[in-house]
Structure 1
């Protein structure tokens, strides 16, 4: 997404790490603000499915055909694992630091 597909493998790996990390941090911030504090892991997985669908079926075909050319289910599995991990982290964080009553 950032550099030409014919670039050296090390450069491609570094660019992919930057993109994947940046997108993951962006969506984690959105999830942290929006997800309820009860059943957080389930909600995070559901959000990951929605994000995966948006990323892989809406955005990629129009702007990133090289991403769309990859197999769908392994990419969706990546989204699901990210959602599960994020949900566990947010749920544990919420248990340790409950929100004050408003």
Structure 2
């Protein structure tokens, strides 16, 4: 959204993410960026899912986790990858915050089972 509003290249962040893949540091690309985003997002979703099993995150906890993830991701990536460093910081922080909030909220939802019940922290909850 930031790129659209400011008239910047909307694929710049995707191409920059592509430089995270081995052998691509100097060769950004959209396909490599999509793959990098899927891998990184999948990894962090797994971490948040593991955390959710121990502590309910919800949207607020997920947003806080997203900011911690941003500190880790961007702390490493901006030092080592010039294409990531060249991107505006605030939109990247907001992207991580939203990722965490949405992931935390989705992981916190009851899960439907084959018997028509939901798996929640409260036994006996049934879906009508």
Alignment of 1:82-93 (within 5 A): 82-93=99-110
Structure having greater relative contact order (Cα 8 Å, sep ≥ 6): 1
CA 1:44–1:34 in 2, change beyond 3 Å: closer, same or farther?
A: same
Higher Cα radius of gyration:
2
Q: Name the counterpart of 1:20.
A: 37
Of residues 83, 96, 111, the one that matches 1:66 is 83
Cα drift, residue 65 of structure 1: 2.0
Which secondary structure does the structure 1 equivalent of 2:120 belong to? coil
SS in 2 for 1:31: helix
Greater share of helix: 1
Q: CA deviation at 1:94?
A: 5.9
Instruction: Summarize deviations over 1:67-94 as a string: whole Å, max 9, x none.
Output: 0111000111111111121012111146
Matching of residue 97 in structure 1 with residue 115 in structure 2: no
Give the root-mean-square deviation of aligned CA atoms: 2.2
Map of 1:43 onto structure 2: 61
Runs of 4 or more above 3 Å deviation: 93-96
Q: Does the aligned pair in 1 maintain the 2:61–2:101 contact within 8 Å?
A: no
Residue 72 of structure 2: aligned partner: 54
Q: TM-score normalized by structure 1?
A: 0.78
- Return the offset for 1:100: 8.5
Give deviations 1:12-64, integer Å, cap 9, x for gaps.
11110100111011001001111312x522111100001111111x2013321
* Superposition TM-score, scaled by structure 2 size: 0.64
Question: What is the number of equivalent residue pairs in this alignment?
Answer: 93
In structure 2, runs of 5+ residues without a counterpart are 1-18, 113-117, 124-128
